[in-house]
Structure 1
Amino acid sequence: MKIKRSKKVAFTLLAVLPIALLVILFTSSNMVLFDSKGPIGEAQSSLIITSVLLMAIIIVPVLLMSVYFPYKYRHSNKDAEYKPNWEHSTKIEVIVWTVPCLIILALGWITYETSYSLDPRKEIASEQKPLTIQVVAMNWKWLFIYPEQQIATVNEVTLPVNRPVEFLVTSDTTMNSFFIPQLGSQVYAMAGMENRLYLMAEEQGEYRGISANYSGFGFTNMKFKAHAVDDAGFDQWVQKVKASDKVLNDGSYDVLEANAKEQIKTPHPVTYFASVDPLRFKDIIEKHAGVQNGL
């Protein structure tokens, strides 16, 4: 009896271990996708959790049975039930077909709904006018242009909380992916094209921004800081940038491009430009659009 009891305990531990490991992983690691600070990020986190739970209805029982059946029907277990002529069970057939079909239908409906509700180009409902920020992926840095404030920054973006932000995204080099995980969504930055993304931060803080698309040797330095501040803090930050002694003109932009080799090993420092050519973003797009059209 003691031997059988110890074996049952061992089986229980083997069955519970995978679930315990998953719980530890989700609770102990810094998973920013599940620490959302904006409405888009929260909706996407909810979508991920809902999808995982629905699929777990199948995955968890399969994992448990993959341990239970080999243990129960092992060669040394002489008490295991043996039915060599058994070949069909209507109940089992109904379960193994109905449950997956229902889960697929549920996931399909959720995918259909969220494909529209979480469209990156869809404006976020708010009483405040969206703040426009133009984003340019470069080698190996991010350039942010504020057309309304007529300022620009490198590797740092600041936005006011509870105000929608319209990001206009392009690339002056290879394809990258603009992504602030805690705010949600990511869109590709492609040369000669303008992509659009609406995000909003609901809490003040510093968030990590990355490129989620490998783009060459300096890819690891394609990072930036996103600061969410209140309205007063945003106005102060704008004045701080305007106090810079640098301007973003043809000469300084050429320097940014020329420094690409240095940023393969060392990230480009945060840089402020007190003024910027209002047509800079448009010119960057048209430069590559002309090449794509064979001009």
Structure 2
Amino acid sequence: MNLPKVPRWFALLYVTALMLLITTGCAENVIVLNPKGPIAEQQRDLMIVSTLLCSVVILPVLIMTAVIGWRYRDKKGRKAKYTPNWEHSTKLEVIWWGIPILIIFTLAVITVKSTYALEPSKPLVSDKKPLTVQVTSLDWKWLFQYPEQGIATVNELIIPQGVPVRFEITADSPMNSFWIPQLGGQIYAMSGMAMTLYLQADEVGTYWGSGANFTGEHFAKMFFNVQSMKEESFEQWVNKVKADSPALTMDGYKQLALPSVSDRRTFSAFPEGLFEMTVTKYASSHQHGMPQKHTHEMKPEK
């Protein structure tokens, strides 16, 4: 059976259309390309702009490689012009040096502007007061303290929609990386240091957060749910935790800090100054974007 011959241009067009269809359909499933906050949106746009600018060089090179390989292949009756003494073309030199230089310069300008605009400790512009959440990386779990509300959670982060969140991040374990892809890029959690990160969720929903750094046997289980809810619902949740959950004592924290995995837990109180004690217990004063002395009121240990 003789099948009709498919033109090469049609096959190329089909493959291109198929790739566009696949990549478009997968965009919603790639969470870094599906942002839910202002920081993640800017980072997504930066990735797209950088990719498009680099494609200006990469795509023509790939196409020319295929065209040259096809045009100058060894075959009978080849009509391609043979110029063995050709060694210089001012026009071509300007093209293949000038365009990359312009792209690199453009990327440099964009990178510098974005570096300052997306500085992690830079407060977000908002008419709402930021919510402070103190994050401690443990083996192999995350402890979240709400100093203004006086409550704490393990492996569960609840935040109000549309309100900037000021994360103060440290570790009482090997270095890890705090990451909520749909809200913004990762930042390291290190013992003896307090890092600051501002993020915000613009939509109500549940997002995925995790530790993005290898920290031992059960590091793959260091993920947590991030739930963004209306401010009224957030206040109701805080009141429910205060009414129904036990307090985290210092002995309880020491037990929690031992290497182990943990389910989601909530606490109605925690020891005063627990976060600061964790940061300073390693005799270091490195603080990124944080004041030297905290003024948050914390609920004392019960």
Q: Do both share a fold (TM > 0.5)?
A: yes
The CA deviation string for residues 70-117 of structure 1, in whole angstroms up to 9 with x for no partner, is: 111111261222222222211111100110000000000000101101
Aligned-pair identity in percent equals 42
CA shift in 2, pair 1:283/1:201, >3 Å = same
Q: Is the 8 A contact 2:36 2:183 kept in 1?
A: yes
Q: Partner of 1:21 in structure 2?
A: 19
Matches within 5 A, 1:77-96: 78-96=78-96
The CA deviation string for residues 190-212 of structure 1, in whole angstroms up to 9 with x for no partner, is: 00110000111110000100112
Q: Partner of 2:269 in structure 1?
A: 275
Q: State the SS of the aligned residue for 1:277.
A: coil
Q: Measure, in 2, the Cα distance between the counterparts of 1:198 and 1:291.
A: 21
Deviates more, 1:80-89 or 1:30-39: 80-89
Q: Measure, in 1, the Cα distance between the counterparts of 2:284 and 2:177.
A: 22
Q: Measure, in 1, the Cα distance between the counterparts of 2:113 and 2:237.
A: 38
Which ranges of structure 2 fall in alignment gaps of 5 or more residues?
287-302
Which ranges of structure 1 fall in alignment gaps of 5 or more residues?
none
Matches within 5 A, 1:85-234: 85-234=85-234
Q: Measure, in 1, the Cα distance between the counterparts of 2:150 and 2:163.
A: 19
Q: Is the 8 A contact 1:150 1:278 kept in 2?
A: no
Identify the structure with the greater helix proportion: 1
How large is the RMSD of aligned CA atoms in angstroms?
2.2
Q: Is the 8 A contact 1:11 1:71 kept in 2?
A: no
Q: Is the 8 A contact 2:205 2:228 kept in 1?
A: yes
CA shift in 2, pair 1:257/1:120, >3 Å = same
1:6 Cα offset (Å): 5.8
Q: Is the 8 A contact 2:140 2:222 kept in 1?
A: yes
CA shift in 2, pair 1:248/1:52, >3 Å = same
Q: State the SS of the aligned residue for 1:289.
A: coil
Q: State the SS of the aligned residue for 2:54.
A: helix
CA shift in 2, pair 1:72/1:290, >3 Å = closer
Q: Partner of 2:32 in structure 1?
A: 33
- Matched pairs, number: 281
The CA deviation string for residues 238-271 of structure 1, in whole angstroms up to 9 with x for no partner, is: 122113342111121122123x24x2xxxx2100
Q: Is the 8 A contact 2:241 2:266 kept in 1?
A: yes
Q: Partner of 1:54 in structure 2?
A: 53
Deviates more, 1:212-221 or 1:130-139: 212-221
Q: Is the 8 A contact 1:11 1:68 kept in 2?
A: no
1:158 Cα offset (Å): 0.7
For residue 285 of structure 1, the aligned residue among 269, 273, 279 is 279
The normalised TM-score by structure 2 is 0.87
Q: State the SS of the aligned residue for 2:257.
A: helix
Q: Is the 8 A contact 2:193 2:284 kept in 1?
A: no
1:26 Cα offset (Å): 4.8
Q: Measure, in 2, the Cα distance between the counterparts of 1:15 and 1:90.
A: 33
Q: Is the 8 A contact 2:193 2:285 kept in 1?
A: no
